[in-house]
Chains A and B, each alone.
Chain A
Amino acid sequence: MSPILEHVLDATTTGTMTSERPQRHVQRKAHSMTPIDPDQKPRISLLGTSAMLFEAPGELDLRTQRRIWALGQRAATWEGIREAVPGMSNLMLTFDRPPRQPASLAAALNDAWAEAEELSLEGKTVVLPVQYGGDFGPHLSDVVAHTGLPVDEIVALHSEPLYTVYALGSHPGYCYLGGMDPRIAAPRRKVPVLGLPGGAVSIGGVQTGVSASAGPSGWNTIGHTDMSFFDPARTNPAMLAPGDMIRFQVGRIVR
């Protein structure tokens, strides 16, 4: 039995979804849609009885992520959905109660994705001074080894882009950032490392991020920044939100 839910579109699956379910025939707006590649369909799967995971096909880019934001905003209002949690070109829907017909929910997600227009969430820009390398960047040498690039070039490539906060996750206030140069990609570690401090700047695969508190990580930690990312006393507890932007400023490079 495949864990991947097939997109079933027939009369029997109209099941339990609300009237929010979109019409089948949709006017597609070419300028905001990624080209439809018939082999590149979204992948939808279940996480036990607790959640459904929607993974968008194609590139990990801002255009895809903006459509994920749109999909999440819409799906969050559906009956039985507790929360819509964007990830990196994916969306997890947690359930209040597990739906009896997950295929219906999958169908609704596919339909909503086909219609999803890029949601422009233009937020604030934050500049973070980073100390690269040294005690706070214990895995910078691993990135050097993997990429074949010298430390200075890795730092230059990492600090050059204006990154967009794609999603929060991992731990309170942690931001997954989009826009990292693929030349400095380095695979996640075989064994996660325990006890990394808050403010750790790291690379995991093609992604980069900054931790908001001390804890374990499977990513390659290359530097450190001081910043308060989370305040549980606030109604909106995270300092950064999807759509905000971060620029890393090179404070120091410790070799």
Chain B
Amino acid sequence: MIEVLSNAALATIQDQGRQGYLRYGVGTSGAMDRVALAVGNLLLGNPDDAAGIEIPLFPFRVRFTEDVAFALTGADCSARLGERPVLPWWTLQAKKDDVLTIGVPASGARCYLLLKGGVDVPIVLGSRSTQLRGEFGGFLGRQLQKGDVIQAATVESAYSEKEGDAAGFGVTPPSWTLGGLETSPVADPADTVVRVLAAAEYEAYEQDSIEAFWRESWKVTPQSDRYGYRLGGPVLNSKRPVEMRSHGIVPGVIQVPPSGQPIIQLRDAQPSGGYPKIGTVIEADLWRLAQARIGSKLRFVQTNYEEAVDALDELDRYMTKLRHLVGLHRGDRP
């Protein structure tokens, strides 16, 4: 359905993740920006578990080998289908031999290319997500390369392009509804703000380290990717050296190795670890993190469990509303 024209692009096939195999050492993988993936599937009327392509490096070009509807969500990548601009958070019909060029985003770090029917790769251990460490799942367990041909599941469809459909349609980006989060008045508006729940070793840190953790902005260093974001900023000191027993962790956990520079474990992180944890970025804000570029700054805002669960509910309500709106619009078509 599409042929990859770009090389060394770090693009991978992802769905919402591989659940239930942590006890075998298999992390969940899945989209870094789950909201972008979910909205892309909504725009196409795909099942929620449909897989798409996560694109973290630009430019990225693909050629459509057949007519198919696609959606592009996430960062605004100045995309073009042939000569025609493709808007962000949009769905459009591509024709055979159309070339989609995804350019360098002005802001944001990742975009998602979804195909009608979902990317068709085998389900391994319950998911189509790419398990890079284990070299399975997704497209042959690896990142996409030039020449790869990716199929979409064929969909029974009586859909015929109507007049006026040729330009497609879209939705506002999540930040438009869910907004940025409040932080101190001195913060740079370009900083990505995320909410953090204290973790078990929070109280093991020196008071001035704890204050610095919340007050300072943290740089996303170049050693940041799907495994985790390594942050640059003040050194965080524990009151005593902490050597822990290996225990399960989840995406969002902020570990502090002896260097004192925190690492936010993300979708391809090890499912367990032994470094002390100062906090966990809440699940509801991981999509924001996914769009923070290398070189940009993060800020942490302290939250409590109830607020964090409310934030997940807010995300659910947003998705339900979008599903309803898009469903109404798509209502006269499959």
Residues of B within 8 A of A172 (CB): 24-26, 131, 133-134, 136
| Given A53-B247, A190-B259, A191-B259: A3 and B199 interface contact (C-beta under 8 Å) | yes
Q: Please pick, from A4, A45, A188, the residue contacting B274 in the complex, using a CB distance under 8 A.
A: A188
Interface residues of B, CB < 8 Å — how many? 56
Q: Is the CB of A48 within 8 A of B281?
A: yes
Q: Is the CB of A85 within 8 A of B248?
A: yes
Nearest Cβ in chain B — how far from A63, in angstroms?
A: 15
Q: Please pick, from A49, A94, A204, A212, the residue contacting B309 in the complex, using a CB distance under 8 A.
A: A49
Residues of B within 8 A of A1 (CB): 198, 304
Interface residues of A, CB < 8 Å — how many? 58
A49 and B21 CA atoms in complex are apart in Å by 19
Q: Could you say which of B41-49, B60-68, B97-105, B250-258 contacts chain A? A: B250-258
Query: Is B272 among interface residues, defined by CB-CB distance under 8 A?
Result: yes
Nearest Cβ in chain B — how far from A4, in angstroms?
A: 6
Nearest Cβ in chain A — how far from B29, in angstroms?
A: 11
Query: Is A168 among interface residues, defined by CB-CB distance under 8 A?
Result: yes
Q: Is the CB of A218 within 8 A of B25?
A: no
Query: Is B271 among interface residues, defined by CB-CB distance under 8 A?
Result: yes
| Given A48-B197, A48-B250, A83-B23: A171 and B203 interface contact (C-beta under 8 Å) | no
Query: Is A114 among interface residues, defined by CB-CB distance under 8 A?
Result: no
Nearest Cβ in chain A — how far from B74, in angstroms?
A: 22
- Which chain B residues numbered 181 to 227 have a C-beta less than 8 Å away from chain A? 197-200, 202-203, 227
Q: Is the CB of B245 within 8 A of A88?
A: yes
A-B contact pairs, 26 of them (CB 8 A): A3-B199, A3-B202, A46-B197, A48-B197, A48-B250, A49-B308, A49-B312, A51-B248, A83-B23, A85-B22, A87-B247, A87-B272, A88-B247, A168-B24, A169-B23, A169-B271, A170-B271, A171-B25, A172-B131, A172-B134, A172-B136, A173-B25, A191-B259, A207-B246, A212-B25, A237-B24
Interface of A with B (CB < 8 Å)? 1-4, 43, 45-51, 53, 55, 60, 82-92, 94, 98, 100, 102, 167-174, 176, 187-188, 190-192, 204-205, 207, 212-216, 218, 230, 232-233, 237-238
Given contacts A85-B248, A170-B272, A171-B27, 7 further A-B contacts (CB under 8 A): A1-B198, A48-B252, A48-B282, A87-B248, A173-B25, A218-B273, A232-B137
